[in-house]
Chains A and B, each alone.
Chain A
Amino acid sequence: SYELTQPPSVSVSPGQTASITCSGDKLGDKYASWYQQKPGQSPVLVIYQDSKRPSGIPERFSGSNSGNTATLTISGTQAMDEADYYCQAWDISTGVVFGGGTKLTVL
């Protein structure tokens, strides 16, 4: 079955750039999406189709996807961005696949 791998945790200082990676076999040939989940809340879509932002998502959130790695980048990270982030893709054999999640800490 298809798998997506994320680092368990990423730390960033306020105002700096945070990068969260998501790895999978030939992930660049698929579309990746990213979800933000704060404690006790439902997931929120922040990036879809690799790099598109839904309405209401700040411009500091961006995404890219190439080769085996998709990346979520948060520029000028704010304390409010501290959350768990999940990547997701579709695989024809497995169906919907989520990464294991990355806890972003804004120190």
Chain B
Amino acid sequence: EVQLVESGGGLVKPGGSLRLSCAASGFTFSNAWMSWVRQAPGKGLEWVGRIKSKTDGGTTDYAAPVKGRFTISRDDSKNTLYLQMNSLKTEDTAVYYCATDRESYDSSGYYYYYFDYWGQGTLVTVSS
């Protein structure tokens, strides 16, 4: 059974930093592309960024609002995904979910990308 368990959320002041963790089990983590998705209170889902597997280059991509402030990393030896958040703003207040990415090209050459498993989320509150 796939399990994703986030931790590390809490209250932080504007301008501060926080590191979230996502412990994965039930699948081969080292082969997986992983994403962070957040949800502000009462709002919709917003993709934060992703990290590819090391065999696919281990590169990262970020949404515009967090680029340059957030960093996604992974430790395959610990089956753990991380989100380092710096220069936090009040608008970063949200529940942060980690999720497993599924992406590829179909037989017709069309690209698909979706999230098949999600963690329970961890709340980050940025407030003075």
Contacts and interface: CB of A to CB of B under 8 A. Distances in A.
Contacts of A88: 45, 114-115
B105 to A, nearest CB: 10
Interface size class of B (residues with CB under 8 A): 20 to 34
Interface in A62-107: 86, 88-90, 95-101
Interface size class of A (residues with CB under 8 A): 20 to 34
Given A95-B61, A98-B47, A42 B116 contact: no
Contact of B44 (A42, A45, A48, A98): A98
B97 A43 contact: yes
A45 B112 CA distance: 14
B68 to A, nearest CB: 15
B102 to A, nearest CB: 7
Contacts, number: 67
A45 B45 contact: no
Nearest to A89: B113
Contacts of B118: 42-44
A35 B45 contact: yes
Contact of A49 (B45, B50, B63, B106): B106
Interface of B: 35, 37, 44-47, 50, 61, 63-64, 97, 102-103, 106, 110-116, 118-121
Given A31-B112, A96-B37, 5 more contacts: A96-B47, A96-B63, A98-B46, A99-B44, A101-B45
20 contacts: A30-B110, A31-B110, A31-B111, A31-B113, A31-B114, A33-B114, A35-B115, A42-B118, A43-B37, A44-B118, A48-B114, A88-B114, A88-B115, A90-B111, A95-B61, A96-B47, A96-B63, A98-B45, A98-B47, A100-B44
List of 4 A-B pairs having minimum Cβ-Cβ separation, nearest first: A96-B47, A90-B113, A33-B114, A31-B112
Interface of A: 1, 29-31, 33, 35, 37, 42-45, 48-49, 54, 86, 88-90, 95-101
